[in-house]
């Protein structure tokens, strides 16, 4: 296994299980941005990303679209992991609302986590938070995610 979600990659804490390949397969976006996925049994997913100058906005902080991407990835992975047979079934974003709380400076690592708030078999409601390494709340989000066709 190679890519951003490789369990042997530095900074990634997920362990590989061949029965859960879908939970660990990195998308092109995840590879491009250097996202790392960490699955916590029974709780959900967290996604981390090192923040580099390539991710900057005009103010010299992490661009809000990338904060949204990290949140969306963590929230969708949480839905898939907890409601999609351990990540075997992908979930697609129907809606995502992000509230930006504080700037995320360059040079650190942003980590987003998701938590399923409700829903059923095909549609789940997930909330997410994104924090800097010092625990500063950077953004919070809510989203609706739909199970992919089987």
On the question of pLDDT at 64 being above 50, the answer is yes
On the question of pLDDT at 123 being above 50, the answer is yes
On the question of pLDDT at 21 being above 60, the answer is no
On the question of pLDDT at 14 being above 60, the answer is no
Residues 89-98 have a mean pLDDT of 95
**What's the rounded Cα separation, in Å, for the pair 26 and 36?**
9
Residues 45-52 have a mean pLDDT of 96
Span between the terminal Cα atoms of the chain, in Å:
24
């Amino acid at each position: 296994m190679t890519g951003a979600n490789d369990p042997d990659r530095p900074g990634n804490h997920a362990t590989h299980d061949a029965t859960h390949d879908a939970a660990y397969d990195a998308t092109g976006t995840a590879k491009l941005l250097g996202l790392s996925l960490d699955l916590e049994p029974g709780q959900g997913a967290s996604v981390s990303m090192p923040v580099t100058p390539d991710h900057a906005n005009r103010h010299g902080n992490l661009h809000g679209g990338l904060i949204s991407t990290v949140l969306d990835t963590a929230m969708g992975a949480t839905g898939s992991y907890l409601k999609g047979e351990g990540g075997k079934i992908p979930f697609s974003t129907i809606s995502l609302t992000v509230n930006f709380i504080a700037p995320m400076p360059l040079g650190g690592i942003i980590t987003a986590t998701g938590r399923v708030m409700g829903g059923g078999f095909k549609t789940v409601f997930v909330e997410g938070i994104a924090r800097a390494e010092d625990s500063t709340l950077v953004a919070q989000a809510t989203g609706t995610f739909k199970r992919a066709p089987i």
